Structure 1
Amino acid sequence: MEIIPTQKIINRDGIKAVKNGQKANEYSSVPNQKKPEWIRVKATFDKRFDAVKQQVQDKRLNTVCEEAMCPNISECWSAGTATFMLMGSVCTRACKFCSVDTGNPKGWLDLDEPMHTARAVKTMGLKYVVLTSVNRDDLEDGGAEHYARTVKAIKELNPETAVEALTPDFKGLSSSIDTLVNCGLEVFAQNVETVKRLTHPVRDIRAGYEQTLEVLAESKRINPNVLTKTSLILGLGETDAEIEE
């Protein structure tokens, strides 16, 4: 068995965090064995992968591909796509399914990030870009204004590019939702993540099944022209009936 201890780090922005978001717990001992073939991904590292990686590094951007340890990173980057993660690499929440570092950024933001992201989109020639972010409960608006500035910067340099924002729940704050859905994006997304019964075992205690649904409903009330979207993670013990609900 491999023991995975709690690791405390200081990231490149000087923010203290718990690495991969979780403290050592009853599940920290994992079998040290190979994954089955059906779940393994064949890594491909080509010139396009290297080009995306260079863009991310040069502009000091974060991607959910890296920070959440996504196994599909080589497939997406080799296709010239990436999901940009705004507002740093440290999340104020600690959902059980997520590998992003957890901590308190204490109001820190990279004010150059909106323009750097826009320039990366232009260099990569993206016609559709997905933005996501860490939760920022340390900010009064949850980071909504920073999100909106990034969308506007992308649109200014890339007027033909469609933007999808996969956002935090902003603690249900209507003014933050308004800021996002009226900033020029095409798709507003907030993930319910799992079925109602499994919400608290899977998501951070500050997240809520009903709250996510209300955020989506509020976004539609404010701006019916913006598409809304949500996603479920399957395989956590949910039933077919719960999914259909």
Structure 2
Amino acid sequence: MRVVSLVPSLTEAVAVSLPGALVGATDWCSHPADLAVTRIGGTKNPAVERVVALAPDLVIANEEENREPDLSALRAAGIEVLVTEVRDVPQAFRELARVLTACGARSRPRWLDEAEEAWAAPKPPDDRRTAVVPIWRRPWMVLGRDTFAGDVLTRLGVDHLYAGHEERYPKVPLDELRAAAPDLVVLPDEPYRFTPDDGPEAFPGLPCAFVSGRHLTWYGPSLAEAPRALGEALRAAHR
């Protein structure tokens, strides 16, 4: 089986579960760190001709991360494309199992069982908190409705204030974000790399939780450690 992945989290899932199956991945596929495959461009602008040249049996993609014109071009070239949809944690587990089976896995990897166990164990704290969760600035964009990252936070006791917005990633003026009066601001390090010097200054007086984007938005082996890592970061914001 020859597989090309257009999604960083799926790249990691396949690489650790089926060594040797991946022949291509995007420039943004950073895990595993020693991944040695042909790079085929970005998630939004893959080099279709480079993918075709690899003669994959399967390309794995995601309806949010990848663009339909690119996927259509791959199908037109005679390549099978599996498109995932991940909007919450349970769906992530189902889609991961589907992807790994399609890539030739004969049994469930141990990490997937460990990830499900990790998410079955934690109970949200009684004192739920509200948050705004920026994913970009200039302009400011935040988590909106129906997102995987939003579901992750909800399961950890954090309700983001734009969960009912009509858009999934709305652009919201900074003044409005401040006026929403959240209990805290959750700042991931991707897709925008928020740091202690770039982000908190926009929200004076509010505690800020710096979290790993891989733990917040990736659905793969990182799911096993995400509840602990995110929980620690969220608790640290109130110390």
Q: TM-score scaled by structure 2? A: 0.27
